[in-house]
């Protein structure tokens, strides 16, 4: 309603105060008079690139979760090799076996308690941020088309279902 009453140039102050780079970029495009279809293409490309970048970060942690148990098994094998050198000394044998089990627990524990949950959490966060960007894009395009506020509210409410 503000943009319809005051004009798109009135959004310049809102753009300057916006902390989200995506929203700032969209508001700046509105103020600068970028054609609607060009604005849509640029912002959709920004969303796609952002999602790909964010997915890459999640894949890094997912890979770490995949390799972590393997590293734990390597530690277990090294611990058992160390234990084999001390077959005649039961005290040293026990320590080597303990190292083997601890290495396995660390590998599996880090995978299942740190890396994989972190990858899933990143994916969930970036999914919701992607929805936010899409909702913002729809709002910006509606403002550019001069839609009324009730119509815009109904359109954006779809993005909030399930939140």
* Gap between the Cα atoms of 86 and 83, Å rounded: 5
**What's the confidence (pLDDT) of residue 8?**
58
Tell me which residue range forms the domain holding 8: 2-160
* Gap between the Cα atoms of 149 and 143, Å rounded: 9
**What's the confidence (pLDDT) of residue 1?**
45
**What's the confidence (pLDDT) of residue 130?**
93
What is the domain count for the chain?
Answer: 1
CB 29 within 8 Å of CB 39: yes
**What's the confidence (pLDDT) of residue 160?**
79
**What's the confidence (pLDDT) of residue 66?**
96
Write down the pTM of the prediction: 0.75
* Gap between the Cα atoms of 114 and 146, Å rounded: 47
* Gap between the Cα atoms of 104 and 117, Å rounded: 19
* Gap between the Cα atoms of 159 and 163, Å rounded: 8
Q: Sign of dihedral through CA atoms 93, 98, 101, 104?
A: negative
Q: How confident is the chain (163 residues) per 10-residue block, as mean pLDDT?
A: 53 71 87 89 95 94 96 92 83 82 94 97 94 91 83 81 65
**What's the confidence (pLDDT) of residue 105?**
95
Measured CA to CA in angstroms, residue 108 lies from 52, 59, 90, 96, 104 at distances of 28, 18, 27, 19, 6
**What's the confidence (pLDDT) of residue 126?**
94
């Amino acid at each position: 309603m503000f943009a319809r009453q005051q004009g798109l140039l009135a959004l310049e102050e809102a753009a300057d105060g916006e902390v989200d780079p995506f929203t700032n970029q969209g508001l700046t495009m509105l103020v600068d008079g970028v054609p609607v279809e060009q604005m849509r293409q640029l912002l959709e490309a920004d969303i796609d690139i952002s999602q790909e970048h964010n997915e890459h970060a999640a894949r890094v942690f997912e890979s770490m979760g995949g390799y972590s148990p393997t590293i734990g098994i390597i530690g277990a094998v090294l611990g058992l090799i160390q234990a084999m050198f001390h077959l005649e000394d039961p005290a040293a044998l026990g320590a080597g076996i303990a190292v083997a089990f601890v290495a396995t627990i660390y590998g599996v524990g880090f995978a299942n308690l740190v890396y994989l949950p972190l990858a899933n959490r990143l994916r969930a966060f970036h999914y919701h941020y992607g929805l936010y960007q899409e909702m913002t894009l729809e709002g910006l395009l509606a403002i550019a088309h001069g839609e009324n506020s009730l119509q815009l509210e109904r359109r954006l409410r779809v993005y909030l279902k399930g939140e």
